[in-house]
Chain A
Amino acid sequence: MATYTALIPAIPLLGFLVLALFGPKLSRRAIGNIGVSSIGIVALLTIITGIEFIKSLPGVKSYSVVVWEWINAGNLKANISFSLDALSLVFCFVITFVGFLIHVYSVGFMAKDEGFSRFFAYMNLFVGSMLILVLADNILLMYLGWEGVGLCSYLLIGFWYKVPENGYAARKAFIITRIGDTAMIIGIFILFLSFGTFNIEGIMQQASEKWISGSSIAVLTAALLLGGALGKSAQLPLQTWLPDAMAGPSPVSALIHAATMVTAGVYLIARTHVLFNLAPVVQAAIAIIGALTLLIAGFSALAQHDLKRILAYSTISQIGYMFLALGVGAWSAAVFHFMIHAFFKALLFLAAGVVILVLNEEHDIFRMGGLRKKMPVIFWTFLIGSASLSALPLVTAGFYSKEEILWFSISAEKGGTLLWIAGIIGAFLTALYSFRMIFIAFFGEARTQPSFLPGIRMTIPLIILAALSVFGGFIELPESFGNFHLFSNLVDNTLPETITRETGYSEILFQSLSALIALTGIYLAYVIYLKKPAISESFYNSRLNKFFEKGWAFDRLYDFLFVKPAVWLSEIDKDDIFDWLNIGISRLAILSNRLLSLTQNGKLRWYLLSFTIGIALILTYMILK
């Protein structure tokens, strides 16, 4: 069974190779079949391996397999080896299963696109890299997967390459994540040089033995790894690439920029939790960054009018929740929210993709409307997704996952009231902007007519994801509702349990509060966007709204601080000032030539004079010697 673990990343990579080499020669059907079935096989394999794994718990904590010896230089050794434990199992499941649904959807979505084989090749490469990332045994191999998904993200954001803006968005994503990656690789260096190994288990063990909690090296390393996580997960201050990444096709946004790649940061922090436990300052920073990000993104989402950009900011915000959970030590809550978020966010993106496609590439929600009646299936699935996002009480999975985080933000040992307040405001904003989306895009009168109805390949995945968005939460019920901890029991095999403190409040008080807030948000959205739109419309032209729409002007700031100086710096010395050394020498040579050739003036008497003087000098010298 353990050896099958190595197959899990291998199969999509094989799919990539086949499609890359033979894609243009295959028929559309063949391409679709290969692309989808490779992920389907892996999903099946994951489920089978997962069941076997769960059955062997708690005895066997992980499956490991070494495929080949990768690097062996001096005492730097790293292998291509994979290990499956509870954490990676959850991630694998999400990646493969949601990935499979998205691939099925893509066959319909990209049906008329000329880059059909290229798309599936890249998607397979992405899934393969992501699986390498979560299954890697050592941190260097994880870095390979990390960069691999960055590459695929670049390729897929800029998929419609003929439009230059897509290329720029892709470049922006790659460069910003690379900045984070560079911080991460320095952190990896420190880890290797301190412990002599890249193996994650080994590092975690040695770190807990050798490093003192709060020591500067632990803080530095944790901060560097956090840098990498911030880049990939689009959190403050590296969050500016994600809204622009919406230039890619919707399945890409669903898979990469909602469900999987952007959660790689969450995975990294969860995986190296020992380090963060050793650096409480950094862990507190994670919580604060998460809280700030979720607020900033929430406000920004409220001001967007591009459907996908709302969802992008929503993703940034929800990952902020996950970071908040990680920051207070609520490990399994973070992973739970990751899974549920993958379900409803992928659903929302796929549904949004359908809407945009059907309305002939219309992205502006103010030009949509009335879709409730025209596309009922899409409407209902979108509604379920938004409800889950808003954490509609009791019936949606989002409620249970977000609840856990909110509860732990105040009840965990490392939690605090401020964090909870941030979370609850964020919940309010989430409900507000999600239902703003629904009310503006799906209700009211239709301003653009749908040109066709989506086929079954695009609808079935939506329905499945909608079901998961509702029922997926029931595997982890809090004490008030049944105390069913299937999920956290699984994850707690790898991650530590959340340490809580006595707050004196009851959980049900907070749950009611958040339920109330969510419902208030929905009602307020109904009032100001549907019933009396004049209220919201008056706000749209205000400076504050424009500020929110531009993502709190981070782009302008970075442009001013980094981009413009870099471009200026590179332009001023374009011809390389060091060349003056050469130009100087050649000018000197030419100058001395000109000077000396003045002595060759063709005049006979001049030559005679110079002989005479020369002879005189030599004679004088000889006489004087």
Chain B
Amino acid sequence: MILVYLIAVLLTGAFLAWIAGIWNTVWSRIISIVALSIDLIQIIILALKPVSPASSWIIDFKLDWIPEFGIGLHLALDGLSLLMLILTFFLGIIAVLISWKEINSKVGFFHFNLLLIMAGIIGVFLSLDLFLFYFFWELMLVPMYFLIGIWGHENRTAASNKFFLYTQASGLLMFIAIIALYFVHGHSTGSYTFDYLQLLGTKMSASTGLLIMSGFLAAFLVKLPVVPLHNWLPDAHTEAPTAGSLILAALLLKTGAYGLLRFIVPLFPAASLTFAPIGMLLGVVGILYGAKLSFAQTDFKRLVAYTSVSHMGFVILGVFSFNEIAYQGVIVQMISHGISTGALFILVGQLYERIHTRDLNRMGGLWEEAPFMGAMGLVFSMASLGLPGLGNFIAELLILVGVFKASVLMSCLACLGLIAATIYSLRIVQKVFLGKKNGIWEINDLNVREKTVLAALCIVIVGLGLFPKPVFDIAKPALIKTLDIKEKTIHVEGISKNETGEKSIHFYQISK
């Protein structure tokens, strides 16, 4: 029941905030923070409960919704979703905090949309019924469209349209795939259901599996985003208001990664194995291409947006290598990328509030006037390039080691991404904070609210880098379950174990 409460609190908060906004905008903001904090505290309490070894699901809640079609209200929490929920609530609060001074018109409606997006995201992370999952998937879209379209920057209409159409189209492909899966399962077992746990292990022919998986993949690859379906991201991120960019980069992209882990690998073990080489290649291409584009940008926000493409390339690379080390890396990457890129977007937003431009050629030498901002920019740029001691290093290390097990070539190519990341991250620091001043700005350093936000993010990213153990412990049962399902199913269908991605390095075995 608590899972339903989590979503209900957000929805209630959304409506209350909208109404409160009519009288006093501050109340909107406070209500939003209260709603998110209630949820954050709830989820942390849940996290501290010891997990029963019997099932990897911490909480499992099911209600019948439309039994004739096999649709149920099935929400469940396991380690993976728990971590994602903590991230969501934490960053949600931060999103409200940073839009305190930035959003001044239609504030109530803004917070309504914000909390609605949050509710959609929570729903995506929690639903185990495919129909319900799709419902929440689409729920994330429309408020985001409004967020970008109403409170965004100059080209907001085009960007929001692009974002909406892209994501909607891919979502529809996923819907077709869901219905196809529903029918395939129904034909083979006689029970027509949308329930995830019952759909696991559906027997389907190789080509059917590939087709249905492609439908799901369409949605997740667009969301992740993966080259060549990534073009909505730079525009959406650049034109969105800061809170919108934060939620987009930190949370929405993770729903794509979550989908890969939760749906693609367990539901289609054989098909995902077939797709794996392409998936890893797309990951590497994303890493390198995203980095290349990032370096060339002159719009600060667009630069950071392309770094998102690059970092998420690591995610799809890790997911298709099918081993536990890489999966732990993927989860840490989801969290640390959310924090570090989110922080960079916050910095851009704070800078924009002061100098009203995002053009890098007009910045420079800002460390002198805003040393705290500069220091934070340095920290998060270092996180972006994967400096050890910060969360992103752990993530990238684990993914690269895991991928190395599966494909040496892909891992080495991805390592080139480390060099590329250095190049663009240092460019950020140099162009914005160091060097000569290119514009005559007189800016204030960060105020208490802004400092608290960035300091909190800084502490989290350093904590992740030095004490990642809690994350690993929470995520472990869920990941083992994912890999287990995959291995069991493939074993049953007669594919030999050696093909489960363990194409290990042979050259040293031969020369031994």
Q: B-contacting residues of A (Cβ < 8 Å)? A: 20, 24, 68-76, 80, 140, 143-144, 147-148, 151, 154-155, 158, 161-164, 167-168, 171, 174-175, 178-179, 181-182, 185-186, 189-190, 192-194, 210-212, 215-217, 566, 569-571, 573-574, 576, 578-579, 581-582
Contact = CB atoms under 8 A, between A and B. Distances in A.
Given A178-B419, A582-B162, A158 B434 contact: yes
Nearest to A177: B422
Given A189-B411, A193-B405, A194-B508, A175 B419 contact: yes
Given A151-B387, A178-B419, A571-B296, 11 more contacts: A69-B469, A74-B328, A164-B430, A168-B430, A185-B418, A189-B401, A193-B504, A215-B511, A566-B423, A573-B292, A573-B293
Contact of A164 (B328, B404, B435): B435
Contacts of B436: 162, 164
Contact of B293 (A143, A186, A576): A576
B329 A73 contact: yes
A114 to B, nearest CB: 9
Contacts of A151: 382, 387
B23 interface: no
Interface in B314-328: 323-325, 328
A581 B398 CA distance: 34
B230 interface: yes
Contact of A147 (B371, B388, B415): B388
A39 B392 CA distance: 30
A24 B293 CA distance: 38
Q: What DSSP secondary structure best describes chain A's contact surface?
A: helix
A167 B430 contact: yes
Given A69-B469, A216-B507, A217-B508, A174 B426 contact: yes
B419 A179 contact: yes
B365 to A, nearest CB: 6
Contacts of A168: 430
Given A162-B436, A182-B415, A570-B292, A212 B228 contact: no
Given A143-B388, A576-B231, A74 B426 contact: no
Given A75-B325, A162-B365, A162-B435, A171 B415 contact: no
B505 A70 contact: no
Contact of B228 (A178, A181, A578): A578
A578 B230 contact: yes
A573 B228 CA distance: 14
B206 interface: no
A210 to B, nearest CB: 7
A150 to B, nearest CB: 9
A343 B145 CA distance: 64
Interface of B: 162, 166, 227-228, 230-232, 234, 292-293, 295-297, 323-325, 328-329, 365, 367-368, 371, 375, 378, 382, 387-389, 393-394, 397-398, 400-402, 404-405, 411-412, 415-416, 418-419, 422-423, 426, 430, 433-436, 466-469, 472-473, 504-505, 507-508, 511-512
A466 B499 CA distance: 65
A217 B466 contact: no
Given A161-B434, A171-B430, A574-B296, A71 B512 contact: no
A551 to B, nearest CB: 22
A140 B400 CA distance: 14
Given A161-B434, A190-B505, A76 B422 contact: no
Contacts of B293: 570, 573-574, 576
B323 A74 contact: yes
Given A162-B436, A578-B230, A70 B292 contact: no
A185 B415 contact: yes
Contacts of B401: 76, 189, 192-193
Contacts of B387: 147-148, 151
3 closest residue pairs by CB, A with B: A73-B328, A74-B324, A217-B508
Nearest to B372: A24
Contact of B468 (A71, A193, A571, A578): A71
Given A174-B426, A189-B401, A73 B325 contact: yes
12 contacts: A24-B371, A73-B328, A76-B325, A147-B388, A154-B426, A161-B434, A164-B434, A174-B422, A212-B511, A578-B227, A578-B231, A582-B232
Contacts of A178: 418-419, 422
B419 A210 contact: no
Nearest to B418: A182
Nearest to A147: B388
Contacts of B323: 74
A298 B281 CA distance: 46
A76 B292 CA distance: 31
A582 B19 CA distance: 38
A168 B429 CA distance: 11
A218 B329 CA distance: 27
Contacts of B466: 70, 80
Contacts of A210: 512
A71 B476 CA distance: 13
Given A164-B436, A189-B401, A215 B292 contact: no
A43 B511 CA distance: 47
Contact of B398 (A73, A185, A211, A566): A73
A581 B231 contact: yes
Contact of B426 (A148, A175, A179, A186): A175
Contacts of B422: 174-175, 178
A158 B234 CA distance: 31
Contacts of B504: 193
A474 B401 CA distance: 47
A557 to B, nearest CB: 18
A181 B397 CA distance: 13
A168 B434 CA distance: 10
A291 to B, nearest CB: 28
A266 to B, nearest CB: 21
Nearest to B298: A574
Contacts of A174: 422, 426
Given A71-B468, A148-B389, A576-B234, A186 B415 contact: yes
Contacts of B423: 175, 566
A131 B397 CA distance: 22
Contacts of A190: 404, 505, 508
A146 to B, nearest CB: 8
B412 A186 contact: yes
A164 B363 CA distance: 13
Instruction: Name the residue among B232, B388, B402, B505 with the largest chain A CB count within 10 angstroms.
Output: B388
A570 B472 contact: no
Contacts of A154: 426
Nearest to A160: B434
Contacts of A20: 375
Contacts of A215: 508, 511-512
Contacts of B419: 175, 178-179, 182
A618 B162 CA distance: 40
A162 B368 contact: yes
B512 A212 contact: yes
A569 B367 contact: no
Instruction: Name the residue among B412, B419, B435 with the largest chain A CB count within 10 angstroms.
Output: B435
Nearest to B324: A74
Contacts of B467: 68, 70
A181 B434 CA distance: 25
Contacts of B234: 576
A179 B423 CA distance: 11
A205 B230 CA distance: 47
A261 to B, nearest CB: 15
Contacts of B412: 186
A182 B324 contact: no
Contacts of A70: 466-469
A74 B326 CA distance: 9
A394 B382 CA distance: 48
B297 A144 contact: no
A569 B423 CA distance: 14
A148 B435 contact: no
Contact of B434 (A76, A167, A217): A167
